[in-house]
Structure formats: C-alpha cells, structure tokens
C-alpha cells in the first residue's frame, strides 16, 4: 500500500464517541434523538487529501455544521432515502447531496447509510474541465444537491465500493477526485437549490440564537425574539427538523451534557455541574432521561474513559 493510502474501520456504540472519531477538516455536530444506545459504523480509505467512506448510523438524529474551506463533499444514500431529510426536504432517489465552500450541513434522519467522498473543490474543477472541456457550472453557491440520470448513483456507489475494497491495490497516482470528475463529466448533471421559505428562516434564526445563548434560552424567549407564535415555530421545526422545538432543545442539551460528561476529568468535574450548566436542574429526572437515551447513568458516563481517545482519528484538518 502506498504511504499516502490509509484504510480505516470504526465501530462506535456512543454518539459522542463517534462524533469525536469523526473530527476532521469539517465542523460537524452529531445529535441522537432516539432513546436507547445505537451503533455507528464507518469504513473507508484516505488517499492523499481525498477521503471515501461508507457510514451507517442506527439511531435517529441529526448532523449539522459545515464542510471545510476548499472542500467539496458529496453523499450517495444507500437504500431508501425516505427517512432522510437534507435541508428539510426528503431525499430524491436520483439526488446526491452536495457541500462546498464551507457550506452548511443540515441532515435529519431516522437511521441511514451513505457513501461519502470529500475532495478538493479546486482539484475537482480542474479534472472536470480536462475531462469534459467545460466548467463545472453546477458547483455554485446555493446548490444543495446534484441531480443525476437514473442509474448514475448506482455506478458511483459501485466505483467507490471498489476503491474501499481494493485500497491496497490502487495504482500509483490514483485520485478519487479525478475519478469522480470523470464520472460526472458529460452525464447531464442537474442541480437542486435550497428553497428559503419563512419557516426555514425561522428555524435557522432560532438555531443561531440558541447557539449564541449556549442553548439556555427557552422556546418562548426564542419566539419573542423572532416575533412569531410558538405554534408557528413548532410547525417550522416539525417540517425541517422532524420534531418540535421543545424536543429539539431537550435532545440537543442532553447530547451536549453527555458529550461533556464523556470528555470530562472525573477528578475535576461533577454530574451536577455539567447537568445544571446545560439547563437540567432536576438531577433525578436528568439521570433517568440520560439512562433512557444512552444506556447508562450520568455518573457512569463520567467515570468511563472515552473509547474515542484511544481510536486513531483518520480525518485530519
């Protein structure tokens, strides 16, 4: 195997540990919405600055954040995309989610499996121009998905599967970016743009206000700042996040607390300190909810050394 090729396989039974393993040239936040522990599996290969991996997550949840500067990230859903919402829309069977230029990532799911490739946007432009004689005009700000002819997603899925399965036999100079550009050149690529109705704007502004307040503002306070009713915000969250703003806030606070418990030094931190910092003042109820979601008490999480600290991180900035 070339010294620039590195294969990996990750299995995690904890959303916080998986999020830590996925640290890399992107800013992503993983939340678990469903009760009970689940499993996340990730296997793939890094070739120079290109990354290809297959990822499956069994819990319901969300991934939000942004792609890294100069990166182009495409996702190929595996199986029925009906349980996946990308930017609040149910995935089309011929659509490939796209992230470019530090673009936002907004994925809500009830468990999913995908193949993902992350490459240099500039390199892709050069390879696409060389292969097609045309500029990759579909890579524009505001484009959230690439629409492909029937069967093309299957071809890409098979191609990336071969790359992951035969990483040790890849020829010198192999480029995931070049292969992807050549596959898309001349195949009649269409684009899907994010629609920005008022409801979507309410969700984005609410999320921004919560981040700025460290998630301590109540739903009522958010509605007051937005100048809308709680019913309006609830309809918006149900459409774009698959849950109510009350449940979203509760789930996200719970995930933040769990992540901090897992990463904290038990000699210096306490469950009470972390829970109250995240807005949980009834510690008995917090302990019950935490066990319901993550399969262990908060004190057990605090004492447990995170497996993520012992797992090599394959995605480097």
- Average pLDDT on 137-148 reads 73
Asked whether residue 223 falls in the same domain as residue 303, the answer is yes
- The confidence score (pLDDT) of residue 6 equals 84
Give the integer Cα–Cα distance in Å for 260 and 247. Answer: 20
pLDDT score, position 109: 85
Q: Clarify whether residues 95 and 209 are in a common domain.
A: no
With 60 as the cut, is the pLDDT of residue 306 above it? Answer: no
Look at residue 102 in the predicted model and tell me its pLDDT: 58
Q: What is the DSSP string of 117-180?
A: EEEEHHHHHHHHHHHHSS--TT--TTEEEEE--TTHHHHHHHHHHHHHHTGGGPPTT--HHHHH
* Pairing outcome for strands 190-193 and 143-147: antiparallel
* pLDDT value at 263 more than 60: yes
Rounded mean pLDDT of 39-61? 90
CA angle, 136 then 141 then 146, to 5°: 55
Q: Quick one: pLDDT at residue 226?
A: 94
pLDDT at residue number 217: 92
Question: For the chain, how are helix, strand and coil distributed in percent, rounded to 5?
Answer: 40, 25, 30
Q: Check whether residue 102 and residue 247 sit in a common domain.
A: no
125 pLDDT higher than 50:
yes
Residue 146's pLDDT is: 78
243 and 117 both lie in a single domain:
no
**Which of the 8 DSSP states describes residue 102?**
T
All residues at 6 or more sequence positions from 306 whose CB lies less than 8 Å from its CB, including other chains: 16, 17, 20, 262, 263
174 shares a domain with 136: yes
State whether 295 and 262 are in the same domain: yes
User: Is 87 found in the same domain as 217?
Assistant: no
- Per-residue confidence (pLDDT) for residue 19, from 0 to 100: 87
Mean pLDDT of the chain: 84
**pLDDT tens string 220-258:** 999 999 999 999 999 999 888 888 999 999 999 999 999
Distance from C-alpha of 247 to C-alpha of 61, rounded to nearest angstrom = 12
Confirm whether 2 is domain-assigned.
no
Are the C-beta atoms of residues 258 and 290 closer than 8 Å to each other? yes
pLDDT at 238: 87
Q: Which of 48-52, 188-192, 200-204, 283-287 has the lowest mean pLDDT?
A: 188-192
Q: Does residue 286 register a pLDDT over 90? A: yes
Which band of pLDDT confidence, cut at 50, 70 and 90, is reported for residue 309? very low
| Final residue of a structural domain among 165, 193, 221 | 193
180 & 228 share domain: no
Q: List the CATH number of the domain containing 235.
A: 1.10.10.60
User: In the prediction, which pLDDT does 282 show?
Assistant: 95
Q: What is the pTM of this model?
A: 0.82
**Percentage of residues in the chain with pLDDT exceeding 70?**
88
Q: State yes or no: pLDDT of 315 exceeds 60.
A: no
Q: What is the pLDDT of residue 254?
A: 95
pLDDT per residue over 212-230, tens digit each? 998 889 999 999 999 999 9
CA distances from 33 to 179, 190, 292 (A): 36, 33, 11
Q: Is 222 part of any domain? A: yes
Whether 186 and 252 map to the same domain: the answer is: no
User: How far apart, in Å, are the Cα atoms of 202 and each of 32, 34, 198, 213, 233?
Assistant: 22, 24, 6, 16, 7
Quick one: pLDDT band at residue 1, thresholds 50, 70, 90?
very low
Question: Which of 164, 193, 222 marks a domain boundary?
Answer: 193
Please determine, for residue 42, whether its predicted confidence score (pLDDT) is greater than 50: yes
Q: Number of folded domains in the chain? A: 2
Q: How high is the pLDDT of residue 56?
A: 92
> Do 178 and 208 lie in a common domain?
no
Q: In the prediction, which pLDDT does 204 show?
A: 86
What the block records as the tokens of 238 is: 């149900």
* Residue 305: per-residue pLDDT: 63
pLDDT at 187 over 90: no
* One domain for residues 67 and 115: yes
Indicate whether 40 belongs to any domain: yes
Taking the C-alpha atoms of 163, 120, 90 and 78 in order, what is their torsion angle to the nearest 10 degrees? 10
What is the pLDDT, as a whole number, of residue 283? Answer: 94
pLDDT for 310 beyond 70: no
Domain limits for position 275: 198-307
Q: Are residues 250 and 128 in the same domain?
A: no
């Amino acid at each position: 195997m070339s010294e620039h090729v590195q294969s990996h396989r990750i299995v995690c039974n904890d959303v916080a540990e998986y999020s830590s393993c996925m640290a890399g040239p992107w800013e992503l936040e993983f939340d678990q919405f469903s009760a009970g522990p689940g499993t996340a599996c990730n296997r793939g290969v890094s070739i120079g600055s290109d990354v290809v991996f297959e990822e499956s997550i069994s819990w319901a949840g969300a991934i939000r954040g942004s792609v890294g500067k100069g990166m182009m990230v495409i996702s190929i859903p595996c199986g029925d995309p009906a349980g996946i919402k990308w930017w609040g829309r149910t995935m089309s069977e011929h659509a490939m989610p796209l992230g470019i230029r530090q673009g936002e990532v907004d994925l809500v799911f009830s468990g999913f499996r995908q193949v993902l490739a992350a490459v240099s946007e500039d390199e892709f432009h050069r390879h696409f121009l060389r292969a097609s004689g045309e500029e990759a005009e579909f890579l524009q700000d505001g484009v959230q998905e690439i629409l492909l002819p029937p069967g093309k997603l299957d071809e890409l899925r098979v191609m990336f599967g071969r790359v992951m399965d035969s990483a040790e036999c890849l020829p010198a100079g192999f480029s995931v970016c070049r292969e992807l550009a050549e596959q898309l050149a001349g195949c009649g690529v269409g684009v899907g743009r994010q629609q920005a109705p008022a409801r979507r704007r309410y969700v984005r502004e609410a999320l921004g206000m919560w981040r700025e307040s460290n998630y301590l503002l109540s739903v009522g306070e958010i509605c007051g700042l937005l100048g809308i009713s709680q019913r309006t915000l609830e309809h918006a969250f149900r459409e774009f996040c698959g849950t109510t703003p009350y449940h979203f806030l509760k789930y996200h606070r719970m995930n933040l607390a769990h992540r901090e418990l897992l990463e904290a030094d038990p000699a210096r931190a306490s469950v009470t300190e972390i829970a109250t910092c995240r807005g949980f003042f009834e510690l008995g109820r917090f302990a019950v909810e935490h066990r319901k979601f993550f399969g262990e008490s908060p004190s057990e999480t605090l004492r447990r050394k995170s497996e993520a600290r012992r797992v090599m991180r394959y995605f480097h900035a």
